[in-house]
Amino acid sequence: MEGGGNFRANFGVEREGKSLLAEDGSCSKGSAITTGYPEFDHVFVKKLGWWDQLTEDEKKLAEGKNWKTDLSGGIQRVVMKNGCHPFGNAKARAIVWNFPDAIPVHREALYSTNAAMMRKYPTSADKKNFWRLPTLYKTVQDQNLNNKLYEKFPIILTSGRLVEYEGGGDETRSNPWLAELQQENFVEINPKAAADRGIKNWDYVWVKSPTGAKIKVRALVTERVDKETAFIPFHFAGWWQGNDLRKYYPEGAAPVVLGEAVNTATTYGYDQVTMMQETKTTMCQIEKFA
């Protein structure tokens, strides 16, 4: 592993009799350990004779901990002082045996507008148990194929951030200067897709999703997206499927601007490998508000 320390040894330190740690000499410049090493915990630090480099207060908090759970920062500080990486020094893996696909392959989204890709690159199999996370994958995708959702919802909907707001936007939309810059939630739609639907720039539209949900937003007609894609920011809240919920806020608590939450329309899904939910994108249909 060139450079050292770029891969965390959280998959064990040996497999089939072969070390998964970096080879001799694969270490950072000035490292006190010139071979591979696992992630650091209180036991490893003591075995190396580095424990007394922690302060007495750090020792109290670091006892029984590893570099991730030591809130004193002592383990991290001492490990880096000795030129090492707290998370370990391991080899890169081309075959990842503890992932659903040992060698990564494409898995099409559960809610996809591309039927051919779903058939050619189906999602992972359902899981009986998966901690507190979704367990149905192939079942949901097959249902979507059988119901031909790709015909009813032909536009890929993706969501993301605006410069002016952060997170759910409750704090930043309460700032009058930022609120003035982005006063309403909107969907970016391509001019061709808009023309096909009789939509003009800044019309109100319904964005409908396979869940049966619909959100009312402005149409921002732009070539920044293609005719098969739409974009909605995720910083808005306080509207629900066209209804302004301002009356439910305590007096003086509502942000300066409210709008539909895009997550009302997004759908189910989870990627087991990246540990990321599929709920920031989906498929949709866009119709002029009537």
Total domain count for the chain?
2
**Final residue before a domain boundary, out of 30, 60, 81:** 81
- pLDDT at position 6 is 54
Number of H helices, E strands in the chain: 8, 13
At 155, list the tokens: 């536009």
What would the pLDDT profile of 122-140 be if each residue is shown by its tens digit? 999 999 988 888 899 999 9
Task: State whether 68 and 154 are in the same domain.
Answer: no
* Residue 40 belongs to domain spanning: 14-81
What would the pLDDT profile of 7-56 be if each residue is shown by its tens digit? 566 677 888 898 888 888 888 889 999 988 999 999 999 999 999 999 99
Task: State whether 194 and 272 are in the same domain.
Answer: yes
Among residues 184, 187, 183, the alpha carbon closest in space to that of 287 is found at: 187
| Residue 109 bridge partners (DSSP) | none
Task: State whether 153 and 67 are in the same domain.
Answer: no
Percent of all residues in the chain with a pLDDT value above 70, rounded to a whole number: 96
Name residue 205's amino acid. Answer: V
**Final residue before a domain boundary, out of 58, 81, 104:** 81
CA distance 161 to 168: 10
What would the pLDDT profile of 199-223 be if each residue is shown by its tens digit? 999 999 999 999 999 999 999 999 9
What would the pLDDT profile of 250-285 be if each residue is shown by its tens digit? 999 999 999 999 999 999 988 887 778 888 899 999
Task: State whether 196 and 279 are in the same domain.
Answer: yes
Residue 166 lies in a domain: yes
* Cβ partners under 8 Å of residue 167, min gap 6: 235
Please report, for the domain that includes residue 224, its CATH number.
2.40.40.20
**Final residue before a domain boundary, out of 36, 65, 81:** 81
